[in-house]
């Protein structure tokens, strides 16, 4: 069984921990009497769960708010006097920071169940974070669906050779991330990765940006300057939106790919540069070639190793994991009260077609994290209400979610033993089976 530790912040005159020690023998409880003392304890030891016995005399709401904000990675349970809960500041503390609360005097048995749930919830969050961190070590691309597994295999393969790569994918699907991954896995990883968006630089500047210029090459060129190709020496040059490269520069780029040398603007000196080129486009370049907008010879030079990044709608299994990943990435911007996505939000995410791909997902999740005023993100917060059934109470979502978490956690701790899990949860075996079937879970 996982070792459970509780940090209990309780006024000096109350014997909360003695009360809990009897009902929670399997917990290791550390009691402190002030927020300052709790802060010191948390600097030295790790806790997943904290119990805050509120004391209006000693704890100013603004201090408690600041403290809980600093320690929002833990699950907090509160005990409040009934009267204190009438004040807005106390209610705000509960809504913003606590996963549950009891009114004083708390019933130790019920409190121990709440703390058990909080622990289960915290364990689940920690495990998920570990999985995300682990996934990151191997690849910056999140996902396990077949399409991403194939993409990773392609990245591995092309990273080992030096030939040019042409990445195709819809807007926001992850072309630049793929290019970075190829660079990071190649033997050039310690060299620079230099991205340039061919569509974003004015046609009059792009030549000197790419190839550099010598002093006096044009009015105002008082000093010579290396171009982006030169600055990528020993590394990778990422030519994004290559389809936007003007025709005359296509010829210069082709020459560079063939001869591995460049000439700065205003000079005839050939400079040797060792650069691997990765190009990307969101349009099918072959069509631009057919229309005469893109040089065919350059197309074949670049497309030695073609890589396709699949659109997000073809990676359905990964969408929720990606949404949760970005929820964590932008956690600092959110309110500590926000715990994740409601079941209806998850359904809406799965239902949407994601024309803007991962970038759209990031934008919607970030927006929702700012806009949401509940504990869970709703389809409305994501701007995804079309086709979703009428809202049920958010409370139902929360309840169902914590029930599932508690069930999963108890089953896991009991080695999938239903009787033991039921005992830990304080419910009968019949209730346990009813709950399992309600949530479609199986021991
Ligand atoms: N599989 C993935 N895992 C994690 N993050 C991803 C994944 N795919 C894309 N992203 C993230 O999504 C965002 C968009 O990706 P990226 O910039 O690579 O796409 P793009 O195809 O170059 O988009 P655009 O067409 O808008 O230039 C980035 O923040 C990137 O880190
Ligand atoms: Mg891009």
Q: Is the CB of 170 under 6 A from ligand 1?
A: no
- pLDDT reported for residue 391: 47
Å from CA of 338 to ligand 2 middle:
30
- pLDDT reported for residue 134: 56
Q: Is the CB of 141 under 6 A from ligand 1?
A: yes
148 CA: nearest ligand 1 atom? 1
Beta strands in 210-270, from DSSP E residues, in sequence order: 212-213, 225-226, 236-240, 261-262
- Is the pLDDT at 368 greater than 90, yes or no? yes
Å from CA of 171 to ligand 1 middle:
9
Read off the pLDDT of residues 237-266 as tens digits, 9 standing for 90 and up. Answer: 999 999 999 888 999 999 999 999 999 999
Which residues make beta-bridge pairs with 212?
A: 226
Ligand 1: residue of 135, 149, 358 to mutate (most ligand atoms within 8 A of CB) is 358
- pLDDT reported for residue 131: 64
Read off the pLDDT of residues 93-103 as tens digits, 9 standing for 90 and up. Answer: 998 889 999 99
Q: How confident is the model at residue 159 (pLDDT cuts 50, 70, 90)?
A: very high
Distance CA 270, CA 260 (A): 9
- Is the pLDDT at 181 greater than 70, yes or no? yes
Q: Average per-residue pLDDT in the chain?
A: 88
- As a whole number, mean pLDDT of residues 387-404 equals 61
How far, in Å, are 212, 280, 306, 362 from residue 166 at the CA level? Answer: 24, 6, 5, 25
How far, in Å, are 104, 198, 199, 269, 289 from residue 296 at the CA level? Answer: 78, 18, 19, 28, 6
Per the CB < 8 A criterion, the answer to whether 320 and 350 are in contact is yes
- pLDDT reported for residue 34: 92
Q: Is the CB of 142 under 6 A from ligand 1?
A: yes
Distance CA 249, CA 196 (A): 14
Distance CA 242, CA 245 (A): 5
- Is the pLDDT at 91 greater than 60, yes or no? yes
- Is the pLDDT at 389 greater than 50, yes or no? no
Distance of alpha carbon 242 from its chain centroid, rounded? 29
Distance CA 242, CA 281 (A): 6
- As a whole number, mean pLDDT of residues 32-56 equals 92
Q: How confident is the model at residue 385 (pLDDT cuts 50, 70, 90)?
A: confident
Which residues make beta-bridge pairs with 49?
A: 6, 75
For residues 416 and 68, the model is more confident at: 68
Count of helices and strands (H, E) across the chain: 18, 16
- Is the pLDDT at 223 greater than 90, yes or no? no
Please report which ligand is nearest the Cα atom of 312.
1
Residues 6+ apart with CB under 8 A from 430: none
Tokens of 185: 């896995």
Ligand 1: residue of 151, 172, 179, 330 to mutate (most ligand atoms within 8 A of CB) is 172
- pLDDT reported for residue 1: 42
Share of the chain above pLDDT 70, in %: 93
Helix (H, G, I), strand (E, B) or coil at 439: coil
Tokens of 170: 């819809």
- As a whole number, mean pLDDT of residues 410-432 equals 79
Q: Is 7 left (phi over 0), alpha (psi -120 to 50) or beta?
A: beta
Helix (H, G, I), strand (E, B) or coil at 208: helix
Q: Hey, what domains does the chain have and what are their CATH numbers?
A: 4-137 (3.40.50.2300), 146-312 (3.40.50.300), 315-377 (1.10.8.60), 394-438 (1.10.10)
Nearest-CA neighbor of 210 among 167, 246, 258?
246
Distance CA 163, CA 252 (A): 18
- As a whole number, mean pLDDT of residues 55-78 equals 89
How many other CB atoms are there within 10 angstroms of residue 416's CB atom? 11
- As a whole number, mean pLDDT of residues 108-127 equals 89
Please report which ligand is nearest the Cα atom of 358.
1
- Is the pLDDT at 126 greater than 90, yes or no? no
- pLDDT reported for residue 387: 53
Q: Is the CB of 169 under 6 A from ligand 1?
A: yes
């Amino acid at each position: 069984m996982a070792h459970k530790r509780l940090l209990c912040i309780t006024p000096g005159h109350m014997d909360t921990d003695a009360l809990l020690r009897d009902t929670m023998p399997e917990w290791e409880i550390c009691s402190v009497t002030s927020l300052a003392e709790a802060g010191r304890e948390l600097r030295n030891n790790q806790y997943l769960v904290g119990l805050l016995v509120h004391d209006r005399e000693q704890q100013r709401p603004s201090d408690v708010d600041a403290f809980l904000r600093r320690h929002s990675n833990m699950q907090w349970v509160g005990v409040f006097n009934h009267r204190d809960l009438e004040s807005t500041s106390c209610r705000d503390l509960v809504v913003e920071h606590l996963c549950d609360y009891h009114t004083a005097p708390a019933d130790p048995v019920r409190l121990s169940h709440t703390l058990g749930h909080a622990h289960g919830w915290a364990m689940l969050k920690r495990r998920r974070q570990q999985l995300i961190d682990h996934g990151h070590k191997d690849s910056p691309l999140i996902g396990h669906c077949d399409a991403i597994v194939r993409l990773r295999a392609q990245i591995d393969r092309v990273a080992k050779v030096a030939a040019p790569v042409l990445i195709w994918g819809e807007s926001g699907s992850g072309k630049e991330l793929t290019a970075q991954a190829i660079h990071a896995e190649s033997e050039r990883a310690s060299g620079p990765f230099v991205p340039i968006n061919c569509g974003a630089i004015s046609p009059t500047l792009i030549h000197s940006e790419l190839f550099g210029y010598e002093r006096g090459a044009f009015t105002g060129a008082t000093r010579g300057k290396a171009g982006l190709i030169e600055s990528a020496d020993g590394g990778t040059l990422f030519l994004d939106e290559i389809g936007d490269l003007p025709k005359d520069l296509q010829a210069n780029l082709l020459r560079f790919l063939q001869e591995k040398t460049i000439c700065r603007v205003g000079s005839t000196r050939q400079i040797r540069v060792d650069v691997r080129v990765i190009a990307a486009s969101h349009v099918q370049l072959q069509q631009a070639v057919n229309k005469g907008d893109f040089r065919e010879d350059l197309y074949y030079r670049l497309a030695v190793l073609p890589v396709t990044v699949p659109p997000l709608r073809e990676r359905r299994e990964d969408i929720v994991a990606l949404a949760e990943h970005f929820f964590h990435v932008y956690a600092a911007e959110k309110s500590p009260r926000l715990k994740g996505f409601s079941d209806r939000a998850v359904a809406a995410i799965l239902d949407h077609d994601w024309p803007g791909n991962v970038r759209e997902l990031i934008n919607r999740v970030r927006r929702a994290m700012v806009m949401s005023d509940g504990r869970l993100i709703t389809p409305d917060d994501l701007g995804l209400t079309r086709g979703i059934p009428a809202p049920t109470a958010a409370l139902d979502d929360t309840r169902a979610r914590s029930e599932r978490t508690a069930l999963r956690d108890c089953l896991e701790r009991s080695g999938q033993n239903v009787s033991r899990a039921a005992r830990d949860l304080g419910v009968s075996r019949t209730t346990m089976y009813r709950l399992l079937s309600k949530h479609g879970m199986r021991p």
